[in-house]
Every structure is written in C-alpha cells, then in structure tokens.
Structure 1
Amino acid sequence: MSIKITGTGSFIPSRIEKNEDFFNHEFLNADGSTINSTNEVIVEKFKAITGIEERRYVKPELLNSDIAFYAAEKAIADSKIDKETLDYIIVAHNYGDLKHDSEQSDTVPSIASRVKHLLKIANPKCVGYDLLFGCPGWIEGVIQAKAFIASGIAKRCLVIGSETLSRVIDKHDRDSMIYSDGAGAVIIEESTEEGGIISHESATYALDEAHFIFFGETNHPEITDKRRYIKMYGRKIYEFALTNVPLALKSCLEKSGYDIKDVKKILIHQANEKMDEAIVKRFYKLHDMDIPEGIMPMTINLLGNSSVATVPTLYDMILKGEIKDQKINKGDIIMFASVGAGMNINAIVYKQ
C-alpha cells in the first residue's frame, strides 16, 4: 500500500495588487521614523530582493473559509471521490476568518468545520480540525494525514492550506508588500499504485527563534488602536532558514533512500525568491553539486507569499499545466519544503 495525493485544487484570487499600487503608501521604520528613500526606490529594492512584482488579494465579500472551500471542491472533483467518504478535513491557516475592515479574527467554529458545512458533508465521522503551524502548515497537515492513514485510523483525508494575509498587514510596513491570499487543497488516500509519500522531516525551533514572526503594532506612531499586524525580523529569518532548511532537506532525502540526482523538482514555500534560491543552492552544495536548472518552480513573482497556500497552489498549478516550462511526470521524485513562524521547518519526499 502507498499513500498518495489523488486530487488537487486551488483558488487564486482575481484581484491583482501591483508593486506600483504601493507608491502612495506611507512606509515607516519599525520605530516610527521616516525612511530616507522614495517609495519608488523602496519598491524597486523590494522587488530585487523578493522577486515579487504583484500579488493577489481576495474580494471584500470573501472569507478565508470560503476560498478554502473553493479549493477543496476542486480537489474533490479532481480525485473523483465521494466527499462523504472523507475521514478527516485538515485546514492549515494562521489567522482564521477575518472580515474585510474588521479588527477581530473568528475561529469558532473552526475553519475546517466551516469548510465541511460549505461542502455539505453529512457524515459525522468525517472529522474536521484546524492546524496552526506557520507557513509550513499545509505540509504538516499532509504529514499528519499520512500518519492517520498509515496507522489505519483513516483511509482518505482532505488537506487544505488557506490564508487571507491581506487582512493582517500593516500598510505602513514595507514587509506588507510580501503577503498575499490564496488556497490550495489535496486529497490523500490509500493507493495500490507505487510511490506517494516516501519520507518526511519536521522540526520546531523555539528556544531563541519563537518570536521571529509575531503579531505587533503598526509602525505609525500616531495610530493608537489596539489592532495587531503580522510582523517579522527578516534578517533573522533569512539566516535561520539558510542554516536549517538545507539540513532538513538533506535529512529527509537520506531517509527516503533516494539520491539527490533522482530529485526532479523542489516545491519550496514561496517566501522570498532570493532566500529560496539560496536555500536550494546550499542544499545542493551539501551534495557537492550545483543547482540544476528548472529544479525550483516559482510563483512568488506574480502571486506573492500566501503562507500555507504557496506550496499546494504551486503543486496544483504545475499539474494543471498553468506554469510555463514546468511539469511533473508520473514516477518523478519531488520534494516539498517550508519554513515559517514557530520557527517551524518541514519537508517531504514524494514519488508522483
């Protein structure tokens, strides 16, 4: 028996926010002081580092649970299963349902329960729960689904990564340009076919690193409301990721029994183009190799960083032929990897 992904789906919001749309923002340093650069220069430097030209935001009437549902519907249809046969619905997110122009997140009932309700699944033995694990949440959900199926607790799971980060950003923070919205979903089940999930690696670094990504006040000193926004220590995250993610990838690959030359694609969390390139280059350097051309598909330039949604949307788009010059063939060895708040890291070796 293998444990495989048998269906995929994604929701990419239609609203496009381009870099030039930030030219009229009042960006400030974390201490509220003025940045000694024009917005045009700030945005140009931002693009050079992150690779982001535009990102996607949901329409005002949509919630995180809505877009998670849309991605789930597509994954269920793609797998051709009866939705009533699902044993688990696992939804990875970090900020719940946050209405447009609202200051309060809503997580009761869980996003998973809301998705199950929207899917109109009647079976009470289909269990839904939420998973908060930073940006690596969707991969961790896949790891958990695999464990449920391998232990005999479940036969079929729906794993979703969905986020609306546009509603937790501080418009006075340059980092706000990184974040975006989106949702991706997969069906995971027992299969008689060869392949599937081969190995995984997962870790939490919290002794010194727990608060590298956090909720904090706006950079604008004259705004006195108590609303909090997603904040990060970018340099610390960059250094942490470059030190630890390549080692996690190496350990995961070693557990799989495959050689690095067998790997056809690495689908890494779309966090920052330069950081992702540096991580994968360092991974190959650990094997005394240069990074192969085309090994690391990217969507961050057009879709931004949608946290838990970046990896499953990337995977779905490649399988559906929506990314130029990128494909995954049956039998290919691929790797999923992510790093994010916690600080958490994980990786999976998967045979298509």
Structure 2
Amino acid sequence: MSIAITGTGSFRPSIIIENSNFEKNTFLNTDGSIIEGPNEVIIEKFKSITGIEQRRYAKNELNTSDLGHLAAAKAIENAGIDKETLDYIIFAHNFGDVSPGKIQGDTLPSLATRVKHKLDIKNPKCIAYDMLFGCPGWIEGVIQANAFIKAGMAKRCLVIGADTLSRVVDEYDRDTMLYSDGAGAAIIEETEGKGQFLNHETATYANDEAFYLFFGESYNKDIKEDRRYIKMYGRKIYEFAISHVPQAMKECLDKTGRDISEVKKIFIHQANEKMDEAIVKRFYRQYKLKPPTGIMPMTIGRLGNSSVATIPTLYDKVRKGNIEGHSIEKGDVVLFASVGAGMNINAMVYEV
C-alpha cells in the first residue's frame, strides 16, 4: 500500500481582470507620493517582471469557503470516493471569508467546517480544520495528511487551498495587480499502485524575515478608515526566495535517492514569473545543469497569484491535460515547492 493523490479539482472564478483595468488607478509610493510616469509604462513593467496579463476575481456572492467547496466537490468526484469516508478536511487559506466591502475576515466557524457543511457530510469523525501557513499552506496540508495516514490516524483526507486576495488589496499599491482569487483541492488517501510521496522539507524563518509580508495601511494617507491590506517587501522576498527555496528543493530531492534527471515537472507557487524562473535555474545550477525545456508549467500569466490556490490549481490542470504542452504520466517524479508569509518554505517530491 502507498499514499497517493487520487483526485484533484480546481475552481477558476469567472470575472477576468485585464492589465488594462488598472490604467486609471492612482499608484502611490509607500510615503504617499505619486509614482512618476504614465500607468501604461508602470503596467508594462509589471507585466515584464511578473508575467501577469490578467487575473481572476470571484463574484461578490462567492466567498473563499465557496470557492473551496466548489474545488473540493470536483476533487471528490474525480477520485470517485464516498464523501462520508473522509477522515480529515484541511483548508489552507490566509484571510478567511472576506465579504466585499467588509473590513474583517470571517473564520468563525472555520472554513473547513463550512466546506464540510456545504458538502453535507454527516460523519462526525470527519475532522475539519484550517491551515494558516501563507502561500505554502496547501503543500503543508498535504504533508500533514500524508503524516496522518502514515501514522494510522486516517485513511483518506481532503486538502483545499483557496483565497480571495482581490478583497484585501490596496488599490493605490502597484502590488494589487499581482493578486487574484481561486481554489484547488486534492484527495490524499491510502491506496495501491496510484502513486507515492517520497519526501518533504519545511522551514520557517521568523527573525528578520517574519514580516516580509504583513497587513498594513493604504498608501493613500488621506484614507482614515481603520482598514488593513496585504503588503510586502518585494525585493526582500525575491532575494529570500531565490536563496532558500532552491536549497530546500535540493535537500528534499537528494533525500529520496532519486536523480534529478528523473524529475519530469516542477510545480512551483505562481508568485512571480521571473522569481520562479530564477528559483528553478538556481535549483538546477546546484547540480551543474540547466533546466530542461518545459520543466515548469505556469498559470500566472492568465490566473495571477491566488496564494495557496496556485499549486493545487496548477497540478489539477496539468494532471487533466488542460495546459498545452504539459502532461504527467504514471511513474513520473514531480517536485512541488512554495514560499510565502511567515516566512515559510516547503518542498515535496511525489511519484505520480
């Protein structure tokens, strides 16, 4: 017997926000001064760095738990399982249910409990809880699910990653163009001949790095509303990521005893195209190699950065053949990696 991903699902919100939607925004520096230059130039520079051309926003009537439920239902159907046999529902997110126009995230009850309710699962032994771990939250949820099953505490788990970041952005901050909404989910279970987890690595850097991502005030100093928005020190995050993530990926792979030539795909958090490319290049450089063509599928160009939702969404799409030029087959070794608020990093090696 082995522990494998037997079903996946994702939900892509229907509202498409093009880069051109930001042409009338007033973008400010951290001190409140206006960023010099026309917005067209600011947006084009943003696109050249991040690779983002458009992103998805959820309809007002849908919240993070709704997106998670929709992705979860697809994963359950894809796995062909009875929902009542789930032992755990682990929901990775960052801000809870954030209703449009509200200044508080709602996590009472937990989003995992809300999904269990929406799925109409009667079994009280199906334990539902939330995971707050920044963008690496979905991977960490999968690591926990694997550990529960390996320890004999569970046989089948549902792990969800979802966020509605469009509702916690500051319209005066250029970084608002990064963020999007979405959800992805997977069934992790004890099975036979359907794949296996080979190894994982996780680390938290909480000294100087703890507040590289944080909740802060709007850059518009005239706004007096007591409201906070997602903020980050982009350059520091970039330098942190390209220094630490490749090392974690290498440590994770090396402990499996598998050769790097066996890695067929790298599923990396869709944070920033140039940063992801730099991480993968540095990962291969440790083996004195260059990344193979097509090793890293990307969705950020069309879907933006939906935090914990990016990797499960990406994996679901490749697994189902929905990204042109990318596929995985039984026996392929794939590598997952993420970095985010905390500052947390993790990596996971999986044989399909």
- Quick check: TM above 0.5? yes
Q: Secondary structure at the match of 1:214?
A: strand
Distance 1:185 1:237 in 2: 26
Match of 1:70 in 2: 70
Deviation (angstroms), 1:194: 6.0
1:133 aligns with 2:133: yes
Query: Which deviations, in whole Å up to 9, do the C-alpha atoms of 1:182-210 show, x marking residues without a partner?
Result: 00000000012163111000000001100
Q: Secondary structure at the match of 2:265?
A: strand
Match of 2:331 in 1: 331
Match of 2:196 in 1: 196
Give yes or no for contact 2:8–2:79 (8 Å, CA) kept in 1: yes
1:167 aligns with 2:170: no
Alignment of 1:177-196 (within 5 A): 177-193=177-193, 195-196=195-196
Percent identity at matched positions? 66
Distance 1:345 1:2 in 2: 25
Query: Which deviations, in whole Å up to 9, do the C-alpha atoms of 1:280-304 show, x marking residues without a partner?
Result: 0000000000111000000000000
Deviation (angstroms), 1:257: 1.1
Q: Secondary structure at the match of 2:255?
A: helix
Give yes or no for contact 2:56–2:182 (8 Å, CA) kept in 1: yes
Amino acid at match of 2:231: K
Match of 1:22 in 2: 22
Query: Which deviations, in whole Å up to 9, do the C-alpha atoms of 1:49-77 show, x marking residues without a partner?
Result: 00000000000111100010000000000
Give yes or no for contact 2:195–2:330 (8 Å, CA) kept in 1: no
Match of 2:33 in 1: 33
Distance 1:196 1:309 in 2: 22
Deviation (angstroms), 1:321: 1.5
Match of 1:273 in 2: 273
Q: TM-score under structure 1 normalisation?
A: 0.99
Unaligned runs of 5+ in 1: none
Distance 2:143 2:133 in 1: 12
Amino acid at match of 1:327: S
Match of 1:254 in 2: 254
Distance 2:259 2:206 in 1: 31
Distance 2:42 2:58 in 1: 25
Alignment length (residue pairs): 352
Q: Secondary structure at the match of 2:47?
A: helix
Distance 2:310 2:196 in 1: 20
Q: TM-score under structure 2 normalisation?
A: 0.99
Query: Which deviations, in whole Å up to 9, do the C-alpha atoms of 1:155-196 show, x marking residues without a partner?
Result: 000000000000000000000000000000000000121631
Alignment of 1:1-352 (within 5 A): 1-193=1-193, 195-352=195-352
Q: Secondary structure at the match of 1:256?
A: coil
Amino acid at match of 1:24: K
Distance 2:290 2:242 in 1: 16
Distance 2:344 2:257 in 1: 24
Q: Secondary structure at the match of 2:163?
A: strand
